[in-house]
Amino acid sequence: MKILITGGTGLIGRSLVDRLLARNDSLTVLSRRPSHARTILPSTVSIYEWRAETGLPPLESLEGIDAVVNLAGAPIQGRWTRKKKLNILQSRTAASRNLSEALTSLRHPPSQLVSASAVGYYGDRGDEVLTEDSDPGQGFLPNVVQEWERGWEPLIAAGSRVYPIRFGLVLSPHGGVLKNLLPAWRLGLGVKIGTGSQWWPWVHIEDALDLIETLVDGDVASGPVVAAAPGEVTQAQFADVLAKVLHRPRFLRVPEFAINTILGEMAFELTASRRATSSLDFHSYRFPELRLALEDLGFTRERRKKHAHRYQTETEVNAPIDEVFKFFSNPDNLETLTPPWLHFKIVTQQPLEIKTGTTIDYRLRIHRVPVSWQSKITEWSPPFRFIDIQTKGPYRSWSHIHEFEELPGRTLVRDTIDYEVPGGFIVDRLFVRNDIERIFNYRQNKLHEFFNK
């Protein structure tokens, strides 16, 4: 399929690009900052500049499009000033209005459009069970979401299937709500917000991607879809589960008036209760319970006892598992997968036979500082898994688990890194974590360039 994506550099968008490329779909991304998009998306993605508030997208970007995924919208985090509220509104409503106008002008509009929406549609509803058929709530965000979804009406009238996905909190190790919550929880400062009785609908990012993929394929009746796992939790229950998974206490409470003082109107998003659940049965959740989701994302009690930090990422490539593992078995490809700004060089004499017990020495530069690194292969299990650890280098400890999972016509590549750094949490957040994310974003792009040609 030829698929158009807006918001392709965001939390969901970047993972979706990987997912769809692995299916061998042809992708076009509309971006406010195309130069930035080109640095983080694979070179096989066509990228066009588009600022939704200024008008229609370039018509050449719409040629031959089969389906559209709209993920555009300014972040809602932070204090809602008048200017920020206007940006929250316009970035969403202009996108649906202008994109809908452009798509309906085509001789053959896309068969289906999937758009991000939000459970904010429902407002603050206490213990009322909310489904796709429930009425909207009242207030700023419900009004934004209603206007956002109404923007697609011309496209619906033109015969396209349109699916606004009303997302709960999207859980991912790479950003979103957990990025904001984890620093405090890891320090034992997890909190109950207000009464804690407000319902917090949530969804694992893999389930969010599964939903989008199913809807892109157009096998579901047109209409809104609630993206919220069946394992309902209140905010207090969410806080307790997260604290238990991290093996940290949760004993603090922030009164509602304090949240209102700090965040103003945006505090409503933390204290509002939305018991949202889907009445549709086309999707079976991989992660129906919160604890399962958090543990899958890498936040396990056992790991927290042993390691200070974990980074986990995965991508799918369009190649059989044996071919992918063979690629990783060649040490020369380590240099191919490493960003040039690290000046990475293998110094161990080659050719090398990779097996359990093999050690490899490297030289690289981290922020221009020369570093020597030695890795040892502690497990070698072709074609499914291998592990290397740092035996000499800048980290207190470093363990990298490489896993390969065979899928129909493609391979899932999963990287899990457990590491400790001098200076602990503060140094990690200020310097190390961002570097690791940049390195693995580059690595994934190179994998796609090599296998998804």
Residue 213's CATH number: 3.40.50.720
Q: Which residues form the domain of 388?
A: 307-451
To which H or E segment does residue 89 belong? Answer: helix 82-104
Cβ pair 244, 300 in contact under 8 A: no
Neighbours of 354 (CB within 10 A): 15
Q: Could you tell me if 151 and 232 lie in one domain?
A: yes
Between 250 and 215, the more confident residue is 215
What value does the mean pLDDT of the chain take? 89
Residue 421 pLDDT greater than 70, yes or no: yes
Q: Note whether 286 and 231 are within 8 A (CB).
A: no
Q: Which amino acid is at 68?
A: V
If you write DSSP's letter for every residue of 386-421 in order, what string do you get?
EEEEEEESSSSEEEEEEEEEEETTEEEEEEEEEEE-
Same domain, residue pair 423 and 284 = no
Q: What is the pLDDT of residues 197-246, one digit of tens each?
A: 999 999 999 999 999 999 999 889 999 999 999 999 999 999 899 888 87
Whether 195 and 99 map to the same domain: the answer is yes
Q: What is the per-residue pLDDT across 182-194, written as a single tens digit (0 to 9) for each? A: 766 666 667 788 8
Can you state the angle between helices 177-186 and 235-246, rounded to 10 degrees? 60
Please state, in angstroms and rounded to a whole number, the distance separating the CA atoms of residues 3 and 80.
34
Our count of domains for the chain comes to 2
> Does residue 301 belong to any structural domain of this protein?
no
Alpha carbons 422 and 64: distance in angstroms, whole number: 52
Q: Tell me the average pLDDT across 354-367.
A: 91
Same domain, 321 and 291: no
Same domain, 100 and 245: yes
Whether 326 and 238 map to the same domain: the answer is no
Kindly report, residue by residue over 136-157, the tens digit of the pLDDT: 999 999 999 999 999 999 999 9
- In this structure, are 189 and 109 located in the same domain? yes
Look at residue 104 and tell me whether its pLDDT is greater than 90: yes
The reply to whether 228 falls in a domain is yes
**Torsion sign over Cα 341, 347, 349, 354:** negative
Q: Is 332 left (phi over 0), alpha (psi -120 to 50) or beta?
A: alpha
Do the domain assignments include residue 45?
yes
pLDDT at residue 304, rounded to an integer: 44
What is the number of residues in the chain? 453
d(CA 141, CA 2): 32
Structure token digits, residue 27: 């992708």
Across 121-245, where does the E strand assignment appear? Answer: 129-130, 161-167, 169-172, 175-176, 191-193, 202-204, 225-227
pLDDT-based confidence at residue 306 (cuts at 50, 70, 90) = very low
Q: Cβ contacts of residue 181 below 8 Å, gap of 6+?
A: 190, 242
Q: Indicate whether 77 belongs to any domain.
A: yes
Alpha-carbon distances of 233 from 119, 169, 246, 359, 422, rounded to whole Å: 15, 12, 17, 47, 37
Please tell me whether residues 97 and 206 are part of one structural domain. Answer: yes
Q: End of a domain among 296, 326, 349?
A: 296
pLDDT digits (tens, 9 = 90+) for 216-226: 998 899 999 99
pLDDT digits (tens, 9 = 90+) for 278-304: 999 899 999 999 999 988 887 654 444
Pair 264, 378 in one domain? no
| Sheet with 26-31: strands ordered across | 46-49, 26-31, 2-6, 67-70, 112-118, 161-167, 225-227
Q: Which residues contact 60 (CB under 8 A, 6 or more apart)?
A: 48
Residue 401 is predicted with a pLDDT of 93
Q: Residue 268: its pLDDT value, please?
A: 74
Q: Based on the domain organization, do 206 and 337 belong to the same domain?
A: no
User: Does one domain contain both 77 and 133?
Assistant: yes
Query: How far is Cα 131 from Cα 251, in angstroms, rounded to an integer?
Result: 33
Q: What does the pLDDT read at residue 300?
A: 57
Final residue belonging to a domain, choices 246, 269, 296: 296
The model's pTM: 0.70
Q: What is the pLDDT of residues 40-90, one digit of tens each?
A: 888 889 999 999 999 999 999 999 999 999 999 998 877 888 999 999 999
The verdict on 226 and 332 lying in the same domain is no
